[in-house]
Chains A and B, each alone.
Chain A
Amino acid sequence: MIDVKNLSKVYGNFKAVDDISFNISKNCVFGFLGPNGAGKSTTMNMITGCLSPTEGNIIINGFNMLYQPEEAKKNIGYLPEIPPVYEDLTPYEYLTFVGEAKKIPKSRLKHCVNEVMEKTNISVMKNRLIKNLSKGYKQRVGISQAILGSPQIIILDEPTVGLDPEQIIDIRELITELGKNHIVILSSHILSEISAVCSDIMIISHGKIATIDSAQNLVGNGEIKTAIIEVIGENEKIINVLNTIKGVISPKYEYDKNIYSFKFNINLDPREDIFYAFSAIKYPIISLYTKKSSLEETFLKIIQDSEDWS
């Protein structure tokens, strides 16, 4: 439903987005991660039609954003970093305007507006001027305009900024719920939020895609796991033994003299073979356990790798 092909954006001599391609075809919550200035917002602005790309194509539900912007935009709801709200209108007036602009039929407009206000819990504030609302309520008015009209694709840039913990939980639940029937692209700097809500994650660095993978794989809950082993014996011999065992991927010496790490596929679990291999050469295994890496670690490692590569 979103097909981004060879997307680039150049400002003068600076390439903000460099040949990005990805495709999201099933309903899910898709996390968008990257350090500041990585090109996340530029990419999102191009996907939503707020900015024209220098090169590349964006296809939204079969409509090219460049040549059929109106049709493509009908399928997108977007909450930018700063909620685009008219401070002098009430949430009800504002959402009615957005609904009319989104060409929601007049017969359904009132119902749709009331429905999104209930979903985001702003019904009690519907007749107050937006300028008199708290930051959290303004954010929720912004989310309401993004989901109004039930667009197929919902893009949320830092949706929980300014919300209190209770509101954050509510919005996360709403995002998870939306992900069942929509494609939700969620950009956030809060990695715990991304790992809690998103099923797939794209990490972008220096305008390029550093990785796209499922959240499970990125946090080590996928098929590939990392194991830590503590064995007493000669360094080289231990590495050689690990290399001979089926299922062990890239064993390496870690920070302490007896600590080694390796990756393995859970379908080819080599831990039993490791035990017998070291037992045969009389090298005692002090400990052997699998390591669950956090998204923070994975994120930092991927960003570091991409910087080294750059």
Chain B
Amino acid sequence: MLSIYKKELKLYFVTASGYVFLAFMLLSAGIFTSLVNFVYYSPAFEYVIKDMCFVLLITVPLLTMRVFSDEKKQKTDKLLCLLPIDVKSIVIGKFMAVATISLIPVAIMCVYPFILSKYGVVNIKTAFSCIIAFFMLECALCSLGMFTSSFCENQITSAILCFGVILICYLVPTISQNISSASMFTFRAFSVCIIALCAVVFLASKKILMALLTAVILETPLIFIYIKHNALLVGKFTAFVDCFAMFKRIDPFTNGVFDITAIVYFISITALFICLTIQYENRRRRG
């Protein structure tokens, strides 16, 4: 794992991608700090972090697009297969390298609240809890980006796909506000989701029976609840959609609350996508 980590880290700095990422993050942090703290005279560094979340839409695809897709393009994925390293170590090594690069601008940003405190009263604890949450969010998004990169052979395709998924996550709060909470709508929306899930199961397993079984297992209780306990479904789809609102989880931190549930959420998302990447890579090796 250490050899993969070192190699990945080196590749970021022998190519422009690592420097571009760092430059873009630090430039954005500088602009937002100047605007929020110096132009509008606000002592709250947490608003800078909140604005910085938007920058992740661009920087995360930039950082993660080459992680696996470039290996496939250069045919070095075969080298990784034949080295005596298991898939788990490869994926974790690569993720650790991405997380390390992500940590560099975050570590530099840690100095900003102290600089600002020279000119006014800055709530250091809130600022740092926000920085921690920001880093955790970045890690979760990076694991997602790494997963999208694992099934693309082209870096640009990987970046576009990653950007699309992160954009959806970013827009989820706006989408969920405009979703009807009526039970009829919830039933229909969940049914469509189940059909989509069955299609994914079929494409992954190539077994129609497994897809049908998934449909029956999920759709039967949904129909039962809809017929017998209609009221239970009210607002549930909105709540379901909110699960994907990763960026919304930063809000409690900006309000001065260190939200442990959000930290657990970010760690869970990170672990989920790392596991999915390991599964996908293992499956690819099986041919």
Chain A residues near B (Cβ < 8 Å): 9, 11, 45, 48-52, 69-71, 73-74, 76, 78, 80, 82, 84-89, 93, 97-98, 100-103, 129, 145
List B243-287 residues whose CB lies under 8 Å from chain A. Answer: 285-287
> B-side binding surface: helix, strand, loop or mixed?
helix
Chain B residues near A (Cβ < 8 Å): 2-4, 6-7, 10-11, 14-15, 74-79, 81-86, 285-287
**Are B287's CB and A70's CB within 8 A?**
no
Task: Give the distance in Å from the alpha carbon of A48 to the alpha carbon of B6 in the complex.
Answer: 24
**Are B7's CB and A86's CB within 8 A?**
yes
Given the interface contacts A50-B285, A86-B7, does A101 sit within 8 Å of B85 by beta carbon? yes
Q: Which residues of B contact A51 (CB under 8 A)?
A: 285-287
Task: Give the distance in Å from the alpha carbon of A84 to the alpha carbon of B10 in the complex.
Answer: 17
**Are A86's CB and B285's CB within 8 A?**
no
Q: Which residues of A contact B78 (CB under 8 A)?
A: 45, 50, 78, 80, 84
Task: Give the distance in Å from the alpha carbon of A145 to the alpha carbon of B2 in the complex.
Answer: 18
**Are A101's CB and B285's CB within 8 A?**
no
Task: Give the distance in Å from the alpha carbon of A89 to the alpha carbon of B70 in the complex.
Answer: 14
Q: Which residues of A contact B79 (CB under 8 A)?
A: 84, 98, 145
Q: Which residues of B contact A89 (CB under 8 A)?
A: 7, 10-11, 14
Task: Give the distance in Å from the alpha carbon of A88 to the alpha carbon of B10 in the complex.
Answer: 9
**Are A88's CB and B11's CB within 8 A?**
yes
Determine how close the nearest CB of chain B comes to the CB of A105; give it in whole angstroms. Answer: 13
**Are A49's CB and B82's CB within 8 A?**
yes
Task: Give the distance in Å from the alpha carbon of A102 to the alpha carbon of B2 in the complex.
Answer: 12
The contact of A50 among B7, B82, B86, by CB within 8 Å, is B82
Given A49-B82, A50-B82, A101-B84; 15 other pairs, CB 8 A cutoff: A51-B287, A52-B287, A69-B86, A70-B86, A71-B84, A73-B82, A73-B84, A84-B75, A84-B78, A88-B14, A97-B7, A98-B83, A100-B2, A101-B4, A102-B83
Determine how close the nearest CB of chain A comes to the CB of B74; give it in whole angstroms. Answer: 6
Task: Give the distance in Å from the alpha carbon of A87 to the alpha carbon of B14 in the complex.
Answer: 10
**Are A93's CB and B285's CB within 8 A?**
no
Q: In the complex, what residue of chain B is closest to A149 when comparing beta carbons?
A: B84
**Are B15's CB and A97's CB within 8 A?**
no
Determine how close the nearest CB of chain B comes to the CB of A13; give it in whole angstroms. Answer: 12
Task: Give the distance in Å from the alpha carbon of A9 to the alpha carbon of B287 in the complex.
Answer: 9
Task: Give the distance in Å from the alpha carbon of A240 to the alpha carbon of B287 in the complex.
Answer: 56
The contact of A88 among B2, B15, B81, B85, by CB within 8 Å, is B15
Q: Which residues of B contact A71 (CB under 8 A)?
A: 84
Task: Give the distance in Å from the alpha carbon of A85 to the alpha carbon of B70 in the complex.
Answer: 12
Q: In the complex, what residue of chain A is closest to B86 when comparing beta carbons?
A: A70
**Are B84's CB and A103's CB within 8 A?**
yes
Q: Which residues of B contact A129 (CB under 8 A)?
A: 14
Q: Which residues of B contact A102 (CB under 8 A)?
A: 83-84
**Are A97's CB and B84's CB within 8 A?**
no
Given the interface contacts A86-B11, A97-B3, A100-B3, does A70 sit within 8 Å of B84 by beta carbon? yes
Given the interface contacts A52-B287, A97-B3, does A86 sit within 8 Å of B84 by beta carbon? no
Task: Give the distance in Å from the alpha carbon of A89 to the alpha carbon of B13 in the complex.
Answer: 10
Cross-chain pairs A/B with CB under 8 angstroms, 24 sampled: A48-B82, A49-B82, A50-B81, A51-B286, A51-B287, A52-B287, A70-B84, A70-B85, A76-B82, A80-B75, A80-B78, A84-B77, A84-B79, A85-B74, A86-B7, A86-B74, A86-B76, A88-B14, A89-B7, A93-B10, A97-B7, A98-B83, A101-B4, A103-B84
Among B7, B10, B287, find the residue whose CB has the most chain A CB atoms closer than 10 A: B287
Task: Give the distance in Å from the alpha carbon of A43 to the alpha carbon of B273 in the complex.
Answer: 32
Q: In the complex, what residue of chain A is closest to B3 when comparing beta carbons?
A: A100
**Are A74's CB and B14's CB within 8 A?**
no
**Are B82's CB and A74's CB within 8 A?**
no
